[in-house]
Amino acid sequence: MRKAIYISFLLSLLSIGLFAADVPVMPYPQQVQQGTALVRLDNNGFLKAAGIDQAMLRRLAEVTRYSSQSTKGAVVQLSLAGKNKTVDARIKTYLGQSDWKTKIGKEGYVLVLNTKERFLVANTETGLFYGLQTLRQLTDAGWNKELVITDWPSLPYRVVFDDISRGPISKVAYIKQQIERMASLKVNGLSFYIEHVIQTGAYPDFAPADGKLTIADVKELDAYAAKYHMQLIGSFQSFGHFNNILSLPQYQSMGETSTMISPLDPKARHFLESVITEMCGAFSSPYFNVNCDETFDLGKGKSKKYTDSVGVARFYADHLKFLYDVVKKNGKKLMMWGDIALQHEEILDMLPKDIVYMTWEYGDPQSYGKWIDPFVKRNLSFMVCPGILNTNRLFPDLAIAKANINGFINEGYKKGTLGAYTTIWDEGGDQLFSEDWYGVYMAAEKSWNVKAVFDEGFDQRYEQTAYGTDNGAYVKAIGKLMELRDLPLTYNMTHEIWWQHILPQNGETLILNNKDVPEGLRLASEAEQLLQSTKPVRNLSDLATLKYIVARYKLLFETRTQIAALANWYAQQEGKKISSLNQQLNKLQSLKNRYLLMEEDFRNKWNQENQPYTLDYALKPYRTRIAALSALEEKLKSLSTNTPLPRAADLGLNVVESDHFYFNFWLLTGPFKSDKFPVFSYSEDPQANHPPKPGDFAQYQGQQFRWMKYNTDNGGIVNKFKKPGAETYVYAFCTITTEEARQMPALIGNNSAVELFCNDKKVTASERETEQHQALPKETTYNLSLKAGTNYILLKVKGDAAGAAFTFRLGTTEPVTNHKHKYTINANQNSHEAD
């Protein structure tokens, strides 16, 4: 009779597929066999031990929302392979294969659901846990058909890495929620980017009082993660990115520079050994990540003479050997980011062979071989590290994250990666982790089942699994937001539009380019309408946060049009009796109230996830805008028809609305004291006389000047150095990329002298006359000879008592976009900057 049941069930199976879209499971199982007969799953179902002990049964029930006590619900029998011969025999019959135990490995499982029996079998308790996650997803979705799932992970390490040091730092309670939700997606590792937010016993004073995890917190979270079959992997920045700690007076002496700890300083070595030792004792994972990425100041600090004598590679490798010994002494295997070793490949031959290299790239290149092959050819262990990028963005660029996660994990899997270490960089101010979950689900899917495809089926399963919805509105709303990344005003989802002033400051001028506002407002409005039809039954904070993001974009766009209209209204009052003042005041009050309400909404969302640390910084744009609107409101109220109206600049309405794209972002250095324009291009030091990267140094007359990132907050008037003094010169650098060689006019507005260089060749001014706005510096036109590809633009601006202000734009109607100081004419919208 039993045999007849098995045969009948096998004949009823319709498909053995990889991606049957109607099976609502994430990540999608490796093998799915689907039948036609109806089978009831019950949310109140209970688990029964068929080949496990009662203690394991209770542990699994506790963390999977099932009961181990008898109820009226459906029974699911749990067994470890080899513990129940009857169950093992049934599995062999269902699958028609004898090697199923080997196939599912340590974390896989077999789930059988039909009208006669329901059982789950795995080789380990972890496999049973993951099988129960699948069962829970099926139950929550109301699944009612016969099913056999045979499942195992493509990659042994499936890790999510969250930046908690350069923005919000999560509460312990929220991290526990992250652990539970990630574990339900079969993620088996969680790690954090840590610079200064762990409070150790040996050095308790570098962690912020209002934003930290204590060693006790870490141990609590580590134990909690273990219950969910997840490891917390320890991490500490141990070379560069050390400015938060070095900025404290008691630690400044340990600095090689202001951003990098000194490998040769005994105090610094003792500090690192003590901190890492304490952290190794708190994190139970066998790995510890010392980071050591982006050491921009290598060879530029107080040990420069020594570094020059041994070479940068040896200097770097020797420090890593020291860290390796510390980590090994604490029973851990060292992990490190691979970027510096890839820049100096000889480092790979200097270090121990059992290091795990975390190789990262966040873009969408045709091949990731550049970031993988140097490790493969040396037979070194590595993990691929894709990214969910939210750095200096108002919303993560999930489009590029999707391509990056897919491509990097695919190539890494083919070339032998240990796992996927998906990084989340919530850096820049006000990012909330609840913005990132769509990316987390992508990473979980791809690292468990490398055959995964991010298509409509994925999006449908995402909504079903994450929210219990099936109308697609949530993902479509994200799609509308992703279209904003193509507009010059909101390119790459940059947060610049949020941090810019909405009204002129200190009598200066504000440039407003509202050309993209109508299209941006259309996209935000469509996203808002889609979200109105989304009715989630779980993870409600994701929807609340997405609604907030959309509402903020709408407010940003509408603010720009209202301020431009208000400035235009005021300009028309000159020489006339002031009219419609109350109407303007009402509009201003309404706008301010919107900011007040949104500020409170954001604060509440922040407090649900995060500790207070950096909240004041995140609220700064709100407070700045509210204060500016309040001040303008008071000035407008004081206007009288009996006295001449003040100038727009005095009132704070000196606004220039323009369709021209002014360059807002530059690398700046100086000011250099000189009686004439300096003759060098980028630095007097021949070794540093090359187009700069952020953090590079220019040397002049024995002094070092760092190239600083600078973004205007007024729409394009660059005035970083307010009073550089007479006979001083400021350098400004950017790049312009174009697909084909061309002649292009460039217009520089400047009240003193300026020199322009393109690809290190001086560009002379032309006689072309241009339309000029009296509120902006007078413009001079230069003819740029741009080559196909990337062009280096350098301005040498003479300062005076009033400053070294300038504007820069191109004389073209083609769209110009930028990511930081890198500008592109008529950008290919399928390619976005990832860093």
pLDDT in tens, 416-453: 999 999 999 988 878 999 999 999 999 999 999 999 99
Give residue 68's pLDDT. Answer: 86
The pLDDT score that the predictor gives to residue 19 is 43
Chain region(s) in the chain for CATH 3.30.379.10: 2-151
pLDDT tens readout for residues 302-341: 999 999 999 999 999 999 999 999 999 999 999 999 999 9
Region for residue 820 given its phi and psi (left: phi exceeds 0; alpha: psi -120 to 50; beta: otherwise)? left
Instruction: Give the pTM.
Output: 0.94
> Residue 429: its pLDDT value, please?
79
CB atoms < 10 A from the CB of 270, how many?
12
Fold of 166-454: TIM Barrel (3.20.20)
pLDDT (tens digit per residue) in 130-164: 999 999 999 999 999 999 999 999 999 999 999 99
Write down the pLDDT at residue 97: 80
Alpha carbon distance 348, 234 (integer Å): 23
Q: Report pLDDT for 10.
A: 44
Residue matched to tokens 């479509």: 476
Model confidence pLDDT, tens digit, residues 661-718: 999 999 999 999 998 999 999 999 998 999 999 989 999 998 999 999 999 999 999 9
List the chain residues with pLDDT less than 50.
1-20
CATH code 2.60.120 region(s) in the chain: 665-825
Which helix (DSSP H) or strand (DSSP E) does residue 182 occupy?
A: helix 172-184
Q: How far apart are the first and last CA of the chain?
A: 63
- Hey, what CATH class is 665-825 in? mainly beta
Q: pLDDT digits over 612-651, tens only? A: 999 999 999 999 999 999 999 999 999 887 778 888 988 9
> How far apart (Å, rounded) are the C-alpha atoms in residues 218 and 234?
9
339 class by beta-carbon count within 10 Å (0-12 exposed, 13-18 middle, 19+ buried):
middle
According to the model, what pLDDT value does residue 506 have? 85
- Return residue ranges of the chain for CATH 3.20.20.80: 166-454
Tell me the CATH class for 2-151.
alpha beta
What is the pLDDT at residue 95?
Answer: 87
For residue 15, the model assigns a pLDDT of: 41
CA 677/CA 683 separation, integer angstroms: 13
Which pLDDT value is given to residue 830?
A: 66
What is the C-alpha separation between 213 and 613, in angstroms, rounded?
12
How far, in Å, CA of 384 to CA of 382, rounded?
7
In the block, residue with structure tokens 């039809």: 533
CB burial readout 168-181, b (16+ within 10 A) else e: bbbbeebbbbbbbb
Residue showing tokens 């633009």: 793
